[in-house]
Structure formats: C-alpha cells, structure tokens
Amino acid sequence: MIIRSKAPLRLGLAGGGTDVAPYSELYGGTILNATISMYAYATIVPRDDGRITLNSADKNEKYTFESTLALPLDGKLDLVKGIYNRVVRDFTKKPLSFELTTYVDAPPGSGLGTSSTLVVAILGAFAEWQGLPLGEYDLAHLAYEIERIDLGMAGGKQDQYAATFGGVNFMEFSKEDKVIVNPLRIHKKYLDELSHNLILYHTETSRLSSIIIEQQSKNVTNRNVKTIEAMHRLKEQAVMMKEALLKGELSKIGEILDFGWQFKKNMAAGITNSFIDEIYAAAIQYGATGGKISGAGGGGFMFFYCPGTTRSAVIEALKRFGGQAKRYEFTSQGLSTWTI
C-alpha cells in the first residue's frame, strides 16, 4: 500500500502580513491569495519492522529512527517530526512504522509558502492513511498549530488555508482567532489573462522569513505607527484586488500591486534591498505596471503584472539579474490525497 498527497503553493496577491500576530489579533487581517501549479508532495509507505524513515528528496536528507511515541526535535527534519508527534499525541495514541518521502517544487525561502504547504501535504497523507476525522478547516488549523505553536516557527495563517482549500480565496482573520475562507468565482478568461500577464520571477536568492516576520511582529507590539498604518493599507489593498478580479478590471491589477508594495516595504527592515529595488525598477521600465516580492520579503520569488504585449520585454530585461521566469497556471483544487 502507498499513500500519497499533494498540496499547491500560493501567490499572495494582496494583504500579505496582516494574517500575522499580533496584528491579526488586534485589528483583524484580510488576505487575497491564489494557488498555482507548483506543489508539495508526500508519500507514506507503511512498514512492519518498528522503524521510521524520513526522506526529504529535494533536500537530500534521510534519517531512520526506532518507532516511538515522539521523535526528537534536534534540527534534523524537525518540521516532519513535529507533524508525526502531533498525529500520535492527538489521534493514534501509539507509535507508527513507515517511510515518508517528501518533495517541494520550490526551494525553502522562496516566498511561496513552501513550509506550510509541506505541513498540509504531510498531514493530509497521515489523515488519508489513518482515517483521521479532519475537515478542511480542521486540517488547516492543525497545520497552523503544529508549525506556529508546537514548533515555534514565526509566520502567519494564510499559507495553511491556501494549501488546504486551493483556488482564489479572500480570507478574513478575525480578532477572535477565527478564519473565514471566501472562495472567489473568477471568470476563467480573467484568470487566464492574469496568469499570462503576471510574471513569476525567481531571483535565485532566498531568505529566512522568520527574521523579517519577527521584526514585523515586534513593530506592531511596540505600536510602530509606520508599520501599523502600512498594514491597514494592505487590508484595503486586499479588498481592491478582490473587486478588480471579480469585475474583470485587470488593467487595475498592476497599480493595486504597486500600491501594496509601497506600503509593504514599511512593515519591517529587510523586506526589500538594493538588489530587489533594482529588479523592480527594471520591470517597471520595460512595461510592468506593478509587482511585489512574494511572501515575507528579502528574496525568493517576485511577480510583476505586464499588460498587453509587455511580458516578453520584461522577461528579457530581467535576465541580466541572473534569475528566471517560472511557468505556472492558477489551480482550483487544494490538498488532494489518495491510496494505491
């Protein structure tokens, strides 16, 4: 028997950062994101020899342990171990024996929600294997708790819900720690045009998002006026983006992205740097009307809205920075699991 799962990565189109505590707890957050055809994968092969093998194929890391109620968190694939430990603690109440293999289509620190999406994929595989009673909201919330509370990894809430639900979603994070996922029915031709015009560009750099997120959270805790005002504006941006997509007013997408980018840079130090600014300026010079860094900032992927026939010129202009444009499509399905 083989149990498999996959969960899609996402583009955070608007409102990024407002899902991060303490801002979301004080003011409520609003996010608009969309999943794309890049995935995190998990495969479980049950075994009966009382051993556990964890294999991260993209990181080229593989470890084998004696089956136990809790695996040690020692810096070696702790994300995977944390999921196993929670599944055993909350559900199976007994050790499991298996080999788990994972792979992600984008590298860590890319800004596409790789870590959280991987948690959702692995958790989904365990749910498929063990028949865990987890609906979509339950699974996304559990993924959040494992990553943010059990493992103490800094970050927000949008990625777990995007990976679980899939599609284009307008998400609301209330002060009462509630999450509402509102799927948007975007006309197919609008999504096709959006994916054609929205260039996903990998800068061939990465960053540790937790450092930026911790600084952002600290700024909110300290009542930094500039940071809090910027995040208020990003919530407005999410509403603007939702209306533009639903109405098919795609000519506004670039300026809405640029509106958000100008405020996002005020949230914390390290979100941008001279290299990122240079890339952004070149994209605008050759026809893009707006864009942003994907995720917390500092490196990884950027994306730019290139209307009309400007796409090719922008891609060509960005080649000199050593990165590459990545092909993708928007997807409508979130986490999927199956057994062979």
pLDDT digits (tens, 9 = 90+) for 285-331: 999 999 999 887 778 899 999 999 999 999 999 999 999 999 999 99
Q: Any bridge partners for residue 12, and if so which?
A: 33
Helix (H, G, I), strand (E, B) or coil at 251: helix
- Phi, psi for 67 (deg, rounded to 5): -65, 130
pLDDT digits (tens, 9 = 90+) for 153-172: 988 899 999 999 999 999 99
- Burial group, residue 2, by CB count within 10 angstroms (0-12, 13-18, 19+): exposed
Provide the percentage of residues in the chain whose pLDDT is more than 70: 99
Confidence band of 107 (pLDDT split at 50, 70, 90): confident
Q: How far is CA 277 from CA 202, 212, 263, 304, in A?
A: 14, 17, 14, 13
The structure tokens listed for 311 are 């796409």
Helix (H, G, I), strand (E, B) or coil at 254: helix
Euclidean distance between CA atoms 14 and 33, whole angstroms: 7
Helix (H, G, I), strand (E, B) or coil at 47: coil
Rg (CA), the chain: 20
Measured at the CA of 164, the angle between CA 160 and CA 166, to 5 degrees, comes to 110
Task: Answer yes or no: is pLDDT of 208 > 70.
Answer: no
Going by C-beta distance under 8 Å and a sequence separation of 6 or more, which residues neighbour residue 133? none
| DSSP states along 145-196 | IIIIIIS-----SHHHHHHHH-SEEEEEE-TTS-EEEEE----HHHHHHHHH
The structure tokens listed for 319 are 């080649």
**Catalytic one of 48, 78, 90, 159:** 159
What's the whole-number average pLDDT of the chain?
94
Q: Any bridge partners for residue 39, and if so which?
A: 8
Residue with tokens 């794309």: 36
Task: Answer yes or no: is pLDDT of 206 > 80.
Answer: no
* Residue 74: active-site member: no
pLDDT digits (tens, 9 = 90+) for 122-162: 999 999 999 999 999 999 999 999 999 999 998 889 999 99
The structure tokens listed for 205 are 């750099």
Region 38-64 average pLDDT: 97
Region 77-87 average pLDDT: 97
Q: At what angle do helices 114-130 and 158-165 cross, to 10 degrees?
A: 50
Helix (H, G, I), strand (E, B) or coil at 138: helix
pTM confidence score: 0.94
Confidence band of 207 (pLDDT split at 50, 70, 90): low
pLDDT digits (tens, 9 = 90+) for 265-283: 888 888 889 999 999 999 9
Region 334-338 average pLDDT: 98
pLDDT digits (tens, 9 = 90+) for 179-191: 999 999 999 999 9
User: Please, what's the b/e burial string for 248-257 (b: 16 or more CB within 10 A of its CB; e: otherwise)?
Assistant: eebebbbebb
Domains within the chain, CATH numbers bracketed: 3-185 (3.30.230.10), 188-326 (3.30.70.890)
pLDDT digits (tens, 9 = 90+) for 55-75: 999 999 999 999 999 999 999
pLDDT digits (tens, 9 = 90+) for 212-254: 888 888 888 888 899 999 999 999 999 999 999 999 999 999 9
Please give the pLDDT value at position 60.
94
Alpha-carbon dihedral sign for residues 325, 328, 329, 335: negative
Helix (H, G, I), strand (E, B) or coil at 8: strand
Amino acid at the residue 89: R
